[in-house]
Amino acid sequence: MFDYLAPADLLEGKSILITGASDGIGRACATCFANHGATVILLGRSQGKLEAVYDEIEKQQPGKVIIHPLDFATAQADDYRVLADSLGQQIGSLDGLLHNAALLGARNPIEFYPDQDWQQLMQVNVNAAFSLTKALLPALSNSVDARLLFTSSSVGRVGRAYWGAYAVSKFAVEGLMQTLADELVNTSSIRVNSLNPGGTRTAMRRSAYPAEDPQTQPTAESLMPVYLYLLSPAAQTIHGQALNARDFDPTTVMSD
């Protein structure tokens, strides 16, 4: 696993929005980024869970956290505009956007995949990522060194039987990342990448592999050196890359 001794003020003065911030990797990133100086904006569908994370961060880093409940399954264009306007008033520019929220969905053959589940999962995993990114690109463009990081998966890079809509949605996320990266490479300071965290000790992993011993998987906290590096100024040349947390090595990553 990548080891990075980040200075305590690595993200000082930066603002980073995290989706799916109430649990798992999103929650770990929120706490870690705030502890390294960032103001974190937490998006999630559960007001109660977001408030719990808010309280935890506020105790350690007062004034470094903002919450914004938003259900991607039902959110409309106006909801994203309201969010963008609100952030514009509160922080002006955005230095990082981490797309972490996702649904796992059914684990069925395509032939028997429930239509409603497919539509809902695509709405949350793909359409919401598009809508949120579109709404926040102006705020990201206001930053002198912004990061846009999509959470990917191994099943979104090589198809695997019975992973259904989840796998297809992650392929779509990879396509969105690549398209944005190519559009922005010469016109913006926004660096766009995707990251596959690999198997991690989260609730989603337990749902996908109920017979697996969770202790065999790394914790979300153990991945933080990779996330910190990719959100930091050190990663300014990493752009348009499909990265893996387990074997991440910035010295071997192609630059833009």
CB atoms within 10 A of CB 232: 19
209 is catalytic: no
Crossing angle for the helix pair 164-184 and 115-122, to the nearest 10 degrees? 30
**Contact, 46 vs 22, CB < 8 A?**
yes
DSSP string, 151-205: E--GGGTS--TT-HHHHHHHHHHHHHHHHHHHHHTTT-S-EEEEEE--S-SSHHH
Indicate which residue of 54, 80, 166, 227 is catalytic. Answer: 166
List the catalytic residues. 166
